Amino acid sequence: MDQTLTLITLDLVGCFVFALSGGLVAVRKEHDIFGVLVLACVTGLGGGFLRDMAIGATPVAALSDWRYLVVPMTAGLLTFYFHPALGRLEPLVNVFDALGLGLFVIAGAVKGLDYGLSPLAAAIMGLATGVGGGVIRDVLAGRVPIVLRRSVFYAIPGFAGASVTAFGLYFELSPPLVMAVAFVLCAGWRLLAMWRHWEAPLPRGSASV
Amino acid sequence: MDQTLTLITLDLVGCFVFALSGGLVAVRKEHDIFGVLVLACVTGLGGGFLRDMAIGATPVAALSDWRYLVVPMTAGLLTFYFHPALGRLEPLVNVFDALGLGLFVIAGAVKGLDYGLSPLAAAIMGLATGVGGGVIRDVLAGRVPIVLRRSVFYAIPGFAGASVTAFGLYFELSPPLVMAVAFVLCAGWRLLAMWRHWEAPLPRGSASV
Amino acid sequence: MDQTLTLITLDLVGCFVFALSGGLVAVRKEHDIFGVLVLACVTGLGGGFLRDMAIGATPVAALSDWRYLVVPMTAGLLTFYFHPALGRLEPLVNVFDALGLGLFVIAGAVKGLDYGLSPLAAAIMGLATGVGGGVIRDVLAGRVPIVLRRSVFYAIPGFAGASVTAFGLYFELSPPLVMAVAFVLCAGWRLLAMWRHWEAPLPRGSASV
């Protein structure tokens, strides 16, 4: 009961910070207010949408709980009216975004297992939940998705966190312990990667810059 | 009985005019005949596809009724062979497109309610039905989706019409009245916005052009 | 039994060669290792994903069979580490890709019929399975999808093969014969089109180059 409430709260926090990032992209592209709201919503909700359509959890969660619509819309409105302040807060937004990624990959992997997926497939669904919204945001905004460009910041820590969750729960380790390890691994890795400017290996023969 | 027939007729008319707009984009990009047909079909059918996958109405409607395949293909062929005439008719196409938007948001909201969504979620599905095809068309054609750029023409009237439909039917007002008001509100607003060149508010600090 | 095994083998071979093509695009864009893996996987699996979500075959097949995840990941790793050799093998990759298209449109059309679609709708699903992965690959990589640009190489032979499969099986012709004809028609047409540099008709008034 209480645990479900905690999970939903964390999920909504993740949705909120992802929606902020979508709204900021729309503001920089000088879209009008509805463009900002739409990009905030698809960024905050897109990953869960994709996951729910793939595993057949329809109607998708975002449509059956009004909080999943109100939270990203609020984030979009805040971005629209207070974006200069939010721009200055970008380092803070990045920190929240790392926390959001950690929350989303865990929630996605747990839901995948609930729908009977194998641990590997559930980890993939966790990753898709964590990065899906950002991919849709970047495609709509006409940019190459960040998950393809900066994998050390996004895809690798996300997949690590989702895998720990999916395999840990599959082998019946203690759920709070598994989720705590997954969260620290995913969010911590991403924060370290940002702070230390890590880079992933490039294909042979590519320029290193 | 007769009402269902009317709704399907209107839905097919909407699909036809959206498919014309997709075909015209493909012709301008100098795609060949199959490219024109594909872009006509995804524009005419994409919104309903997305809605049906999100609410779990599978197989999606476009696959269970052959008319939903024949209508956009016909529109694509017409565009391919008669596009100079259609180009001159662009103002007329825009008028049909406004009518199509009105029909699609109503049909989407009604189907959302039928599948047990809340009125707010049904209104979002109505909007997704109305703008989804155009978003897919623009993404495939390498353009920023028009729904992000020109919201006063698309997203705001669409959401208004979808909301009137969803909340009106939820509170059990007379369906023909609700749909008539929603249609006039949505299509009328969009036509007025085109005619008067309305603009939506931009984020603070943006250049107004 | 034996026939199912053959079909799955062919399906996995198709997935492998499509994943190679996705990985090569990512390498050329100088994405890092995870970007290469992601683009290889979405290219190899995207068409089937789209089909399964549209017909309601959820959880989608790629998530319920671990081989569908291991095969494109292997292809992605091979591309990442051996891409100079693969680049020289591009003509060979194109041949495999033509075979992959032939396999995918047949598999997609058969699955569509299994889920109760009409033959026309099943043929459309076969086409979507064959070209869907490439469309997602091109959208994520910021290119106009090849299916819109070079239809004689992709969409027309794909639709021909899918139609032969869907209508042939619907009218209860011998399945091995139907699939053999469909495969030769689709893959052979595409190989001939590549070899002979065929072009599809352009809209009237377009420059022919």
Terminal Cα-to-Cα distance of chain C (whole angstroms): 50
Average pLDDT, chain B: 84
Return the partners of chain C (3 or more C-beta pairs < 8 Å).
A, B
> Can you tell me the distance from the alpha carbon of B27 to that of B46, in angstroms, rounded to the nearest whole number?
19
**CA A201: distance to chain centroid?**
23
Residues 6+ apart with CB under 8 A from A23: A36, A37, A39, A40, A43, A75, A76, A78, A79, A80, A83
Rounded Cα distance, B129 and B165, in Å: 13
CA dihedral B122, B123, B125, B130 (to 10 degrees): 150
The burial of C196, by beta-carbon neighbours within 10 Å (0-12 exposed, 13-18 middle, 19 or more buried), is given as exposed
Q: How many CA atoms lie within 13 A of A69 on its CB side?
A: 16
pLDDT at C1: 41
CB count in 10 Å sphere of residue B189? 21
Q: What is the nearest CA distance from A135 to chain C, expressed in angstroms?
A: 8
Using pLDDT thresholds of 50, 70 and 90, give the confidence band for residue B85: confident
Per the CB < 8 A criterion, the answer to whether B72 and B19 are in contact is: yes
CB nearest A203 (choices: C56, C58, C80)? C80
Burial (Cβ within 10 Å: 0-12, 13-18, ≥19) of residue A87: middle
Q: Could you tell me the pLDDT band of residue C156, with boundaries at 50, 70 and 90? A: confident
All partners of chain B with 3 or more CB pairs under 8 angstroms: A, C
The 10s digit of each residue's pLDDT in C87-123 is: 777 777 777 778 888 989 998 999 899 888 999 999 9
Q: Where are the domains of chain A?
A: 2-196
Interface contact C38-A206, CB threshold 8 A: no
Residues in chain B with CB shorter than 8 Å from the CB of C128 are none
* Predicted pLDDT at A34: 83
Using an 8 Å Cβ cutoff, are B99 and A45 in contact?
no
In this prediction, residue A209 carries a pLDDT of 35
- Closest partner residue to C203 (CB to CB) among B30, B62, B69 is B30
Please compute the mean of the pLDDT values over residues C142-171 and round it to a whole number.
Answer: 85
B-chain residues near C108 (CB < 8 A): none
Amino acid B204: pLDDT = 62
Q: Is the dihedral of CA B119, B125, B127, B130 positive or negative?
A: negative
**Chain mean pLDDT for chain C:** 84
- What is the structure's pLDDT at A183? 93
Q: Model confidence at C86, in pLDDT bands (50, 70, 90)?
A: confident
Quick one: chain B helix, strand, coil %, rounded to 5? 80, 0, 20
pLDDT of residue A200: 64
**Chain A interface residues facing chain C, Cβ-Cβ under 8 Å?**
53-56, 58, 112, 115-118, 120-121, 124-125, 135, 139, 142-145, 147-149, 151-152, 155-156, 159, 199-207
- Determine the pLDDT at residue A207: 44
Task: Please determine, for residue B207, whether its predicted confidence score (pLDDT) is greater than 50.
Answer: no
How far apart CA B71 and CA B48 sit, in angstroms, is 14
Residue B89: pLDDT over 90: no
* Digit-coded pLDDT (tens) for C187-203: 998 888 878 777 666 66
Confidence of residue B113 (pLDDT cuts 50, 70, 90): very high
**What is the reported pLDDT for C14?**
84
Residues of C in contact with B80 (CB under 8 A): 203
Q: Which of A53, A144, A159 sits opposite C141 (nearest CB)?
A: A144
- Tell me: the pLDDT tens digits for B45-74? 998 888 888 888 878 888 888 888 899 999
pLDDT for residue C186 is more than 90: yes
Q: What is the pLDDT of residue B208?
A: 39
The residue in chain C having the minimum alpha-carbon distance to the alpha carbon of residue B85 is: C204
Are A207 and C30 within 8 A, CB to CB?
yes
**What distance in Å separates residue B34's CA from the closest CA in chain C?**
6
Report the phi/psi class of residue B124: left, alpha or beta, with left for phi > 0 and alpha for psi in -120 to 50: alpha
Helices B67-88 and B2-28, axial angle in degrees (round to 10)? 50
Which one of B55, B143, B148 makes the best mutation probe of the A interface by having the most chain A beta carbons within 10 Å?
Answer: B148
C interface test, pick of B24, B36, B38 with most C CB neighbours within 10 Å? B38
Token readout for C16 is 């492998």
Q: What is the pTM of this model?
A: 0.84
Can you tell me the distance from the alpha carbon of A155 to that of A161, in angstroms, rounded to the nearest whole number? 10
- What is the predicted pLDDT for the residue at C171? 93
Angle between helix A119-140 and B119-140 (nearest 10): 70
The residues of chain A scoring below 50 in pLDDT are 1, 207-209
Mean pLDDT of C166-172: 93
Q: Which residues of B touch A (CB under 8 A)?
A: 53-56, 58, 112, 115-118, 120-121, 124-125, 135, 139, 142-145, 147-149, 151-152, 155-156, 159, 199-207
